[in-house]
Amino acid sequence: MSPAERHKARWAAREGAAQVAAPQARRRGPAATEYELWRARLGNDLRRLKEIQSIERKIELKRQLLPEYVPWIKGVLAADVAAEDDILAQIMVWLFDVGEFYDGLELARFMLRHKLSLPERFKRTLGTFIVEETAEAAEKARVQVQDFSLPLLFEVEDLCSEEDMPDAVRAKQGKEMGLLLAVDALATEADADGPAGQRKAGIERALTYLRRALALESNIGVKGDIKRLEGELKKLAQSET
């Protein structure tokens, strides 16, 4: 996009955000028209994605498309108005799809604060989407023996702590947080800060999340991890005597 086009998009988003929430009959002016043009553009891009069968290729196309929507998103955030916006919601989803979680959370936080929804075709609530997508990404990284950001999961936990969602989704989140905490704890020297210090505190914190996950979903698959960590605590206790 040219500088003029970017400026026009930002202006349209700022001026038109309030109108997006209004009934169709009350929308007016070039800003409302610009929103519809951007929605049409998004519709075309969604059709392009639908024609692709490969998940890998879909993700690559989303990465290519995302920068084109930056001017609109910046304008919406600057307007800071509680207005349902399919463009904003879809870009938030794409950011999660391509693994740009922190950028996605910026938009998700805006949507939660203004009590905005995902488009109707999504069957999950926004809070459920955020928690489940990040938990599943953490699980995928764990299975592939790759690193994943524990601070990101804590940020998601804090952001969505009051959101209603299925217990099974909370259990997924608790499992992945507990397992990442366990990795950090077990990597700590046994005598760090003394036998009752950092290692013990880390294990106990991991157990808190894993036990909560098990309470929410009995088949979540953490019983073995809990038993292993409880064994580590017993070893630490024995070393104190």
| Residue 82: per-residue pLDDT | 82
Check whether residue 99 and residue 152 sit in a common domain. no
Domain boundary among 123, 144, 170: 123
Check whether residue 103 and residue 72 sit in a common domain. yes
Count of domains forming the chain: 2
Check whether residue 144 and residue 116 sit in a common domain. no
Q: Which two tokens stand for residue 38?
A: 């951007």
Domain boundary among 123, 147, 176: 123
Domain boundary among 123, 150, 172: 123
| DSSP letters spanning 211-235 | HHHHHH-TTSS-HHHHHHHHHHHHH
| Residue 22: per-residue pLDDT | 44
Q: How far apart are CA 34 and CA 11, in angstroms?
A: 10
Q: How far apart are CA 71 and CA 226, in angstroms?
A: 48
| Residue 120: per-residue pLDDT | 82
Residue that has been written with the tokens 């909560």 in this structure: 212
| Residue 163: per-residue pLDDT | 96
Check whether residue 228 and residue 154 sit in a common domain. yes
Check whether residue 148 and residue 67 sit in a common domain. no
Structural domain harbouring 97: 1-123
Q: How far apart are CA 9 and CA 132, in angstroms?
A: 32
| Residue 27: per-residue pLDDT | 46
Check whether residue 104 and residue 157 sit in a common domain. no
Check whether residue 165 and residue 118 sit in a common domain. no
Q: How far apart are CA 208 and CA 88, in angstroms?
A: 36
Check whether residue 143 and residue 159 sit in a common domain. yes
| Residue 58: per-residue pLDDT | 97
Burial of 159 (0-12, 13-18, 19+ CB in 10 A): middle
C-beta neighbour count of 39 within 10 angstroms:
15
Check whether residue 19 and residue 89 sit in a common domain. yes
Spell out, as residue ranges, where the chain has pLDDT lower than 50.
18-27, 195
Q: Which two tokens stand for residue 230?
A: 């409880």
